[in-house]
């Protein structure tokens, strides 16, 4: 919830039009805002002073704007609630402000690739259309955490005190490692983790059952699909890491799955004029340095007509 939605709730409360649901929601927001203030522990004295001044200035500005001479009247219950709600608005605003400034977020565009060095010198190579988020400051005691939406290859540094490193790949899948190399893909419909070196543990938090864990060995792939079932199998590593060398490796991959890849990584919508074409299987390596190279390879391999119009690709028989 952003501060503007919160402000609407407060206005309804002050006007005496807040529903029971509105009041309950405000209470939940307050509890959530107060639940985690651990970020203050990592601040330097100078940073604490800056934050204090910003909070004081914001509060003074709001009070000055709202305080007008008026008759002294007894406080009504809703007025007390409104005062608390205004305090909540400032608190949540500060929390939102600080959250935005204590994280680093890296975005890649369609077809773009970026190498990121984390605060502990671990590295992440992000594939196209991906987002990586992590704390700006890491210490030597707490768990190292990153969040990914998209695809990235991780090379995690081992620490002398065996500090945990956790990748949050989705709302329900966490990847826990010490020092290792692995590929993570977290897209809309499923999450995948493929290990190339070391050992990782995957934890799936399920609201309908107890948390389950899966351990991976090098060459194993774990998949979490829409059915919320976590499975693993042995795969060819090259198929999941070749993109690092600007190459796509296919092993009996259907054109249906190729179309999903083109959508997720390059932002292209593939349209087949004949649904049976989607079941054709592609094997081999294709340079991914240029999207046109990929489309040309598909056309030549299957003797198909492949045309591109902006972000749309049309595939048909000749």
Question: What backbone torsions phi and psi does residue 125 show, to the nearest 5 degrees?
Answer: -100, 115
CATH of region 108-234, choose from 3.40.50.2000, 2.60.120.1440, 1.20.1560.10, 3.30.460.80: 2.60.120.1440
Q: Comparing 5-19, 209-223, 230-244, which segment has the lowest mean pLDDT?
A: 5-19
Alpha helix ranges (H) inside 248-315: 255-266, 291-302
> Residue 46 has what pLDDT?
54
pLDDT single digits (tens) 86-119? 555 555 555 555 554 578 899 999 999 999 999 9
Location of structure tokens 């991906």: 130
pTM: 0.68
Q: Which two tokens stand for residue 245?
A: 């060398």
pLDDT band at 131 (very low <50, low <70, confident <90, very high): very high
The more confident residue out of 226 and 91 is 226
pLDDT single digits (tens) 211-222? 478 899 999 999
> Residue 195 has what pLDDT?
96
**Using an 8 Å Cβ cutoff, are 108 and 32 in contact?**
no
> Residue 10 has what pLDDT?
63
Q: Residue 42: pLDDT above 60?
A: no
Rounded mean pLDDT of the chain?
79
pLDDT single digits (tens) 255-283? 999 999 999 999 999 999 999 999 999 99
> Residue 230 has what pLDDT?
85
> Residue 52 has what pLDDT?
52
**Using an 8 Å Cβ cutoff, are 102 and 96 in contact?**
no
* Secondary structure class of 311 (helix, strand, coil): coil
pLDDT band at 19 (very low <50, low <70, confident <90, very high): confident
Query: How buried is residue 159: exposed, middle or buried, by Cβ count under 10 Å (0-12/13-18/19+)?
Result: middle
* Secondary structure class of 267 (helix, strand, coil): coil
What is the number of alpha carbons within 13 Å of residue 12 lying toward its C-beta?
A: 15
pLDDT single digits (tens) 286-298? 998 889 999 999 9
> Residue 2 has what pLDDT?
47
Query: Per-residue pLDDT averaged across 28-44, rounded?
Result: 52
Query: How buried is residue 156: exposed, middle or buried, by Cβ count under 10 Å (0-12/13-18/19+)?
Result: buried
> Residue 63 has what pLDDT?
45
Location of structure tokens 């190498």: 115
> Residue 84 has what pLDDT?
55
**Integer CA distances (angstroms), 37 to 92, 146, 168, 195, 251, in order:** 11, 19, 21, 35, 49
* Secondary structure class of 116 (helix, strand, coil): strand
Query: Per-residue pLDDT averaged across 51-57, rounded?
Result: 53
**Cβ count near 193 (within 10 Å):** 27
> Residue 212 has what pLDDT?
72
The more confident residue out of 63 and 128 is 128
Q: Going by CATH, does the domain composed of 246-317 fall within 3.55.50.30?
A: yes
Report CA 98 to chain centroid distance, whole Å: 18
pLDDT single digits (tens) 113-129? 999 999 999 999 999 99
**Residue 275 DSSP one-character state:** G
Where exactly are the structural domains of the chain? 3-102, 108-234, 246-317
């Amino acid at each position: 919830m952003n501060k503007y939605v919160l402000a609407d709730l407060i206005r309804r409360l002050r006007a005496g039009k807040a529903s029971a649901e509105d009041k309950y929601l405000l209470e939940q927001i307050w509890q959530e805002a107060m639940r985690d203030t651990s970020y203050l522990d990592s601040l330097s004295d100078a940073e604490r002073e800056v934050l204090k001044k910003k909070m004081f200035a914001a509060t003074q500005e709001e009070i000055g704007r709202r305080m007008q001479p008026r008759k002294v009247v007894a406080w009504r219950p809703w007025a007390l609630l409104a005062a608390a709600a205004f305090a909540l608005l400032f608190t949540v605003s500060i929390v939102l402000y600080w959250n935005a400034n204590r994280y680093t977020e890296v975005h890649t565009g369609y077809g773009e690739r970026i190498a990121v060095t984390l605060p502990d010198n671990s590295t992440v190579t992000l594939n196209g259309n991906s987002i990586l988020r992590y704390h700006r400051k890491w210490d030597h005691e707490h768990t190292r955490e990153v969040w990914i939406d998209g695809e990235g290859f991780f090379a995690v540094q081992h620490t002398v005190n065996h500090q945990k490193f956790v990748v949050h790949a989705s709302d329900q899948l966490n990847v826990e490692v010490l020092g290792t190399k692995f590929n993570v893909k977290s897209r809309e419909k499923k999450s995948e983790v493929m290990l190339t070196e070391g050992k990782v543990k995957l934890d799936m938090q399920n609201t309908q059952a107890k948390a389950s864990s899966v351990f991976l060995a090098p060459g194993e792939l774990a998949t979490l699909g829409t059915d919320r079932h976590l499975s693993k199998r042995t795969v060819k590593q090259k198929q999941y890491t070749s993109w690092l060398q600007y190459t796509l490796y296919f092993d009996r991959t259907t054109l249906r799955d190729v179309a999903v890849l083109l959508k997720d990584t390059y932002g292209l919508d593939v349209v087949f004029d004949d649904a049976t074409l989607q079941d054709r299987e592609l094997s081999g390596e294709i340079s991914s340095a240029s999207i046109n190279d990929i489309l040309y390879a598909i056309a030549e391999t299957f003797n198909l007509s492949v045309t591109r119009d902006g972000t749309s690709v049309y595939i048909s028989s000749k």
